[in-house]
């Protein structure tokens, strides 16, 4: 069973930066596609970014493109989300997720989910 643990959320002013981390247990991390999603109150989870096992395929939602960077360190079983130029509308609970196979923007194919970390951006 794979477990994912996020960290790095918090309160930041608009224009600031945060880096989220997600550490995975298990021996399949390096072959797993990893994704970051976020959820606003009362809304469905939405795609933020995804990265393939070898980091050769990276995708971003249009709303974060040019501001957020997803990366991974397979030696540390960790995926990161560097969030720059944060806006109040980025305020949400951020989740990391993992799956086998290619990258995907839909939440449903992801088998493993972290517990989420709150990101709050003040204006």
Residues of the chain above pLDDT 70, percent: 100
Whether the Cβ atoms of residue 119 and residue 90 lie closer than 8 Å to each other:
yes
Give CA angle at 33 (28, 34), nearest 5°.
100
Q: Is 105 exposed, middle or buried (0-12, 13-18, 19+ CB in 10 A)?
A: middle
pLDDT digits (tens, 9 = 90+) for 8-30: 999 999 999 999 999 999 888 99
Q: Is the pLDDT of residue 1 over 90?
A: no
Which one, of 97, 102, 80, lies nearest residue 31 by Cα? 102
pLDDT digits (tens, 9 = 90+) for 44-68: 999 999 999 999 999 999 999 999 9
Which pair of tokens denotes residue 47? 């795609």
Q: Is the pLDDT of residue 118 over 90?
A: yes
Q: Backbone dihedral region of 10: left (phi > 0), alpha (psi from -120 to 50 degrees) or beta?
A: left
């Amino acid at each position: 069973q794979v477990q994912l643990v996020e960290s790095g959320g918090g309160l930041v002013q608009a224009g600031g930066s945060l880096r989220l981390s997600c550490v995975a247990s298990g021996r399949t991390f390096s072959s797993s596609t990893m994704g970051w999603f976020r959820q606003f109150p009362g809304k469905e989870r939405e795609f933020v970014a995804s990265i393939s096992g070898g980091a050769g395929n990276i995708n971003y939602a249009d709303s974060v493109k040019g501001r957020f960077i997803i990366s991974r360190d397979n030696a540390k079983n960790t995926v990161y989300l560097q969030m720059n130029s944060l806006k109040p509308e980025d305020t949400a609970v951020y989740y990391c997720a993992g799956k086998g196979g290619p990258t995907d923007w839909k939440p449903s194919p992801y088998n493993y989910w972290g517990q989420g970390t709150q990101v709050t951006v003040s204006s």
